[in-house]
Chains A and B, each alone.
Chain A
Amino acid sequence: MTKLTFIAHDGTQFDVDAENGSTVMENAIRNAVPGIEAECGGACACATCHVYVDEAWTAEVGEPEAMEEDMLDFAYNVQPNSRLSCQIKVRDALDGLVVRVPERQG
C-alpha cells in the first residue's frame, strides 16, 4: 500500500492507503475527501478533480500530458503545480505524496 495525504481547503488532513495502479482521484472519492468532485468519473473530460501537488513532489509526479493541460484550462486558479488527480496513477515512488485541494472546482 502507498500512503497518500490529501489536504482539504479548510486544512483538514486525510491520510489514506492507496493501491498501486489506482488513481489519486479514486482514492479521494473512496475516502470522501471534500472538494474533489470528479464529475466525469475519471475520463479526463472535466476539470473537477483538480489538485495542487506539494512542491516536494512535483518532479516525481511529473507534468500533465497535452490532453490534461487542455482540461486544466477549465479549472479554477491553475498553478504550475496543478494536476487533475484522475491522471495521476499511484505507484511505489509516490509513497508519502501530498496533494492540496483547491478552494473550488471550476
Chain B
Amino acid sequence: MTGIISTDVLIVGAGPVGLFAVFELGLFDMKCHLIDILDKPGGQCAELYPEKPIYDIPGWPSISAQGLVDKLLEQIHPFKPDFTYNRMVSSLEKLEDGGFRVITDENEVFEAKVVVIAAGGGSFQPKRPPIPGIEPYEGKSVFYSVRRIEDFRGHDLVIVGGGDSALDWTLNLQPVAKSVTLVHRRPEFRAAPDSVNKMYAMQEMKQLAFRVGQVTGLTGADGQLSSATIKGGPEGDIEVPCTRMLPFFGLTMKLGPIAEWGLNLHENLIPVDTEKFQTSVPGIFAVGDINWYPGKLKLILSGFHEVALMAQAAKRIVSPGERIVFQYTTSSTSLQKKLGVVE
C-alpha cells in the first residue's frame, strides 16, 4: 500500500460535470483530486461520442463533445487538479474527524474532507457478451481483459469481437496459446486494417482460425470451459475447443460499488437536495447524471449549475466558520488572481 493521498475534495468521475466542479471549488480555494475508470478525462463525452456536436451548451451554438472536454480542461488548468485514471473507487468510509477515506480497486488510499460523486451513468465496465450461461465461467476461464499473457499459455483460446482489442490480443496471444479461434459476426472489422491483414495472413498459414458467426453456447464444468458452439457461419453450427475465452463487446455503464456506500438510492440514482446537492450522508455530494431530485434533467448544463451550488456547501465543510463571499469572476480581483488572469 502506498502513502495516503490527502485532498480537500475527492471527485469520483472526470466527465464534464466533474471537471467543472474543479472550477467552482477552485474559486473557493479547494484543492481537487479526480478519479476515473477511463484512461482519460471526459467521461461519456470522450469515450462514447467525442466527435458528435452538442448544441445545448450555453454560449456554444455547436461544440464537439471532445471540444467541450478540452475547453473544460483549459478552464480548470489554473486550479491544478490531480487526476488518477484507470481506477474504480471500491470503498468509502467515514472518518472520525468528519472526513472520508476512499480506497480504489488498486488499493490506493485517499483522504478527503468532502467527496463529490460525479459518476454519470456509473463506471464503464466490459460488456457481458450475449452468450447464455456465461456467468459461472467469468473470472475462471472467461476474462474481459488480459492481465498476464502467461495465463493463456497452452490454452485453446477463443477470442470474440471485431475491434482493436480482439484483433490485438488474437495476434499477441497466438504465439503462447495452444490454438486461437477468432469469432466475429461478419468478415468486416472495426480494428485497424493492418491488424486485420496480419490476422488473415496467419489464418492462411493455419496459425489461427477465424470463424464468422456468434458464440451461442458454452460447455464445461466448475467454471472451466471445454468447448464453445459457434452459429451462423457458412459451415453451420460448429463446436471448437475452448479452455479460455476473451470476449470484447465494448463497454457499458454500471453503478458499481457506489451502491454499497450506504447512500440512499432511487432507481440506481442518488437522491440529493436542490440547495446543496448533498446525498443522505453529509459531506458526500452527487452532481450530474448520477443524482436525482424532482424535476431532474440529465443535461450537462444542469450539472454545471449543480456544482456551483454544491461548491458553496462544500466550502462550509472544508473551511468551517469562514465567511463565504459571493463574487463575480468579471469584477473580483481576488478571483481573477486565482484564475491567473491578473498579477
A73 at the interface (CB under 8 A from B): yes
Question: What mask results when residues 54 to 68 of chain A are scored 1 for a CB within 8 Å of chain B, else 0?
Answer: 000000000000100
Contact B49 A43 (CB under 8 A): yes
Main secondary structure on A side of the interface with B:
loop
Kindly state the interface size class of chain B when it binds its partner: 20 to 34
- Residues of chain B within 8 A (CB-CB) of A73 are 161-163, 184-186, 190, 249-250
Partner of A43, one of B52, B185, B186, B250: B52
Contact A74 B49 (CB under 8 A): no
Size of the chain A interface, CB-CB below 8 angstroms: 17
Contact A40 B49 (CB under 8 A): yes
Contact B161 A45 (CB under 8 A): no
A77 at the interface (CB under 8 A from B): yes
A96 at the interface (CB under 8 A from B): no
- Residues of chain A within 8 A (CB-CB) of B190 are 70, 73
- Minimum C-beta distance from A38 to chain B (A): 12
Contact B127 A40 (CB under 8 A): no
B252 at the interface (CB under 8 A from A): yes
- Minimum C-beta distance from A21 to chain B (A): 16
Question: What mask results when residues 145 to 176 of chain B are scored 1 for a CB within 8 Å of chain A, else 0?
Answer: 00000000000000001110000000000000
- Minimum C-beta distance from B146 to chain A (A): 20
Partner of A76, one of B49, B130, B186, B188: B130
Main secondary structure on B side of the interface with A:
loop
In this complex, which of A73, A76, A77, A104 has the most chain B Cβ atoms within 10 angstroms of its Cβ?
A73
Contact A78 B214 (CB under 8 A): yes
A46 at the interface (CB under 8 A from B): yes
Known: A39-B253, A69-B186, A69-B188. A74 touches B48 (CB 8 A): no
* CB within 8 Å of A: which B6-50 residues: 44, 48-49
- Residues of chain B within 8 A (CB-CB) of A40 are 44, 48-49
- Give Cα distance in the complex from A74 to B252, angstroms: 10
- Residues of chain B within 8 A (CB-CB) of A46 are 48, 252
- Give Cα distance in the complex from A39 to B44, angstroms: 11
- Residues of chain B within 8 A (CB-CB) of A78 are 185, 214
- Minimum C-beta distance from B222 to chain A (A): 27
- Give Cα distance in the complex from A43 to B55, angstroms: 13
Closest to A43 in B: B49
- Residues of chain B within 8 A (CB-CB) of A69 are 186, 188
Contact B48 A45 (CB under 8 A): yes
Closest to A71 in B: B250
- Residues of chain B within 8 A (CB-CB) of A43 are 48-49, 52
- Residues of chain B within 8 A (CB-CB) of A104 are 130
- Give Cα distance in the complex from A106 to B190, angstroms: 18
- Residues of chain A within 8 A (CB-CB) of B252 are 39, 46, 106
B121 at the interface (CB under 8 A from A): yes
- Give Cα distance in the complex from A46 to B253, angstroms: 11
- Residues of chain A within 8 A (CB-CB) of B161 are 73
Closest to B184 in A: A73
- Give Cα distance in the complex from A66 to B49, angstroms: 16
Known: A43-B49, A43-B52, A46-B48. A74 touches B127 (CB 8 A): yes
- Minimum C-beta distance from B317 to chain A (A): 34
* CB within 8 Å of B: which A82-106 residues: 104, 106
* CB within 8 Å of B: which A22-51 residues: 39-40, 43, 45-46
15 A–B pairs (Cβ distance < 8 Å), ordered by A = A39-B121, A40-B48, A45-B49, A46-B252, A69-B186, A70-B162, A73-B161, A73-B184, A74-B249, A75-B130, A77-B130, A77-B214, A106-B127, A106-B130, A106-B249
Q: Which residues of A contact B (CB under 8 A)?
A: 39-40, 43, 45-46, 66, 69-70, 72-78, 104, 106
Other A-B pairs beyond A40-B44, A74-B249, A76-B130, 9, CB < 8 Å: A40-B49, A43-B48, A46-B48, A70-B162, A73-B186, A73-B190, A73-B250, A74-B127, A104-B130
